[in-house]
Structure 1
Amino acid sequence: MTAVNIAGWGLVGFVLAIVLRVVVERGSFLPAGSERLAPPAVLEVSTGVLFSALAWRLGAEPALFAYSWLAAAGVQLAAIDWKTRILPTKLIWPTGILLASLFGLAAVLDHDAYPLIRSVAGMFALLIFYGALYFLRPGGLGGGDLRLSCLLGFALGWVSWTVILTGTLLGWLSAAIALLVLRAVRGSEASRDSPLGPFLVIGGLAAVLLSSTN
């Protein structure tokens, strides 16, 4: 893709983030009394940068639309979780349905069903992994984290099993680093102030951007 196309796709992400912010903040996705998710332009610029980075990394591939949607929805989910410590199911499910539709369309356009099969397998693999953590360590993970892991497993599985592993490790590593920083600043109570969702999103998107997809 040319620089103009990459910048243009970033602008698409910026505009989409504006729309999503309005939907989230004016809809019933946030607890009553919650203020705006983030200062003006933070979510929009973040989404625009991710759109441009994905366009540069993936090029004009059908999967670009799916990963761009993952980035747009992921930024919103991360902001909601950071602000409220909640990953709303009513946002995760539509995100997953649209994500599956876009990857399904990519499989049709590429005339290759194997990545889609691997995506489904990746979703179940992370569901089993996070499900075990959810039941073996009550309180360590929330139901939203479990559902988010399914989205990420599905998306990362499109590329490879290595990307699933890398995205998972990067998510937990970034969460551990953030927790250490918060504990240094706020003390032992910091673990209550560090939701996992934003870091799972960061790890997943970072793995896609670092992967060899071409």
Structure 2
Amino acid sequence: MFAAFTMAWTGVGFLVGAALALGIRSLVTIAPPASNATRLTAAILTALAFGALAWRFGHLFDLLPYSVLAAIGVALGVIDILEQRLPSVLVYSGVALVGVLFATSAILHSRGPDFLRALVGMAVIAVFYLALALISRGGLGAGDVKLGGLLGLALGWLGWSALVTATILGWFVAALVWLLLRAARRRRRGSLVPMGPYLLLGALLTITVVPT
């Protein structure tokens, strides 16, 4: 029964990813429109994320907000790779939808303290990334700051350890990829790395794999 549910939710993820992939075309303004291969990849990644989340949460209510985060996160990651930007409309939509679902869970399941921690986590990470953006003078963009708020909200709901782990993991993966690209002479010194995909990957791995 559990396996069937996981497979079914994976299928839902593929359909959701395919639908969002169509919307990516309208949000891409500089780079060439996403190819069929890119859209298929986005749908597959969303399906895999939905499957991992179903395995992690089962029938728990938390499956809904984190599936929303995964779907929007894949779309954000694709756009960030193509254009190195994170559309505010997607980030704000994620904050609104995930926030409403967490608030609903807090009311239905008496998880007020978790919701309060999620709000504080959103503020803490957003302020932290804003400080980094100001210090780096463009090394971290406004979109990354907004994404940090969304991820802080989602990870704060699970706990402070999840928030810290995901943040460190995302930055570690980004640094590792940058070093590998530099070693392969695929990236010039001082060139920027789109942080969105790595921050999202760190969050997803923490949510689905790392014990909290």
TM-score (ref. length: structure 2): 0.94
Partner SS, residue 28 of structure 2: coil
Structure 2 residues not aligned, in runs of 5+: none
**In the alignment, what sits opposite 2:34?**
36
User: What corresponds to 1:208 in structure 2?
Assistant: 207
Query: Which one-letter code corresponds to 2:29 in the other structure?
Result: P
Q: CA deviation at 1:187?
A: 5.1
Please list, as runs of the form range in 1=range in 2, the aligned pairs for 1:38-187 lying within 5 A after superposition: 39-186=38-185
Shift in alpha-carbon separation, 1:208–1:143, aligned structure 2, 3 A? same
Alpha carbons of structure 1 residues 3 and 87: separation in structure 2 relative to 1, 3 Å:
same
Length-normalised TM-score, structure 1: 0.93
Q: Which runs of 5+ in 1 are unaligned?
A: none
1:62–1:109: 8 Å Cα contact kept in structure 2?
no
Of 176-185 and 203-212, more deviation after overlay is shown by: 203-212
SS in 1 for 2:11: helix
Give the C-alpha shift of residue 61 in structure 1: 1.0
Partner AA of 1:130 in structure 2: Y
Residue 170 of structure 1 and its aligned partner are, at CA, apart by 0.5
Shift of 1:194: 2.2
Identity %: 36
Aligned residues between the structures: 211
Deviates more, 1:157-166 or 1:101-110: 101-110
Paired position in structure 2 for 1:17? 17
Q: Aligned partner of 1:194: which letter?
A: V
**Preserved contact between residue 124 and residue 150 of structure 1 (Cα < 8 Å):** yes
Q: Find the aligned partners of 1:47 and 1:155 in 2 and give their Cα distance.
A: 17
Measured on the aligned residues, the alpha-carbon RMSD in Å equals 1.6
Mapped to 2, the partners of 1:6 and 1:84 lie a distance apart of 33
State the alpha-carbon separation in 1 of the partners of residues 47 and 114 from structure 2. Answer: 26
Moved over 4 A (4+): none
